[in-house]
Amino acid sequence: MIVVRPAPGDARTLARLAAKSIAAESIPLFAVRPVAWIPPDPRDFDAVLLTSANALRHGGSGLDVLRHLPVVAVGQATATAARAAGFAVALTGDGDVARVSAEAEACGLGRLLHLAGRDRMAAGTAAITVYASDALPIPPGVAARFAGATVLLHSARAAAAVAALVDRDGVDRGSVRLAAFSPAVAAAAGAGWRSVAIAARPADSALIEAAIDQRPPRADK
């Protein structure tokens, strides 16, 4: 299997795969870095919306101003990271930003401040960029390693990047299996793949299970 998510997430996925005795390699397509930002007046918001633990990892001292606000988290992993960073989590969504935002509004937390990545903003909320995920240069021919393998896709951006790399290097999409974090991630990869498995829920462990389930059976020895 091939993991294309950026560090340090790739190491966690590789560790989970190793625990299941599954050989895998990391080919990160992006590198995450902090972006300078100035926190707004917290009195203007009811809660902080977090769609990725990267906001906590790279938010820096600006997070201190907002720490008394409750968090609306998208996904259990992000909620866990928020608690570890000293935030109180009011709501945890299942991966659908629009749905959890609507739930937050119903609970009186309608004014959300999204601490976001540069390339992912939640519609309908005030957002401020606190980190960026920069594309890494991938040498020609690297996508040849995808042929015959299962590529784990944690984001729509990664899905689109894998598709572009495969097409650039002339690799037959029909030779590549994909495991996607969500239906939206799968859609971003386009069509023509050997198979596409979708995680039952937006979690790294579920993505791995989906990838395992689609592996071809071993040949009898």
β-strand 150-153 against 2-3: which pairing, if any? parallel
The closest alpha carbon to 200, from 184, 215, 183, belongs to: 183
Q: What residue ranges do the domains of the chain occupy?
A: 2-29+138-213, 32-134
State whether CATH 3.40.50.10090 applies to domain 2-29+138-213. Answer: yes
Q: What pLDDT score does 162 carry?
A: 98
The reported pTM is 0.86
β-strand 30-34 against 25-26: which pairing, if any? unpaired
CATH topology of domain 32-134: Rossmann fold (3.40.50)
Give 10-residue mean pLDDT values along the chain (221 residues).
Answer: 95 96 96 96 96 95 97 93 97 86 94 90 76 96 97 95 98 98 94 96 92 70 39
d(CA 70, CA 166): 42
Check if the beta carbon of residue 83 is closer than 8 Å to that of residue 73.
Answer: no
Q: Same topology for domains 2-29+138-213 and 32-134, yes or no?
A: yes
Q: What pLDDT score does 122 carry?
A: 55
d(CA 191, CA 80): 34
Check if the beta carbon of residue 30 is closer than 8 Å to that of residue 154.
Answer: no
**Cα–Cα separations (whole angstroms), residue 133 to 6, 32, 107, 140, 141:** 8, 4, 32, 21, 23
Residues 22, 80, 133, 119: what is their CA dihedral angle, to the nearest 10 degrees? 120
Q: What pLDDT score does 216 carry?
A: 64
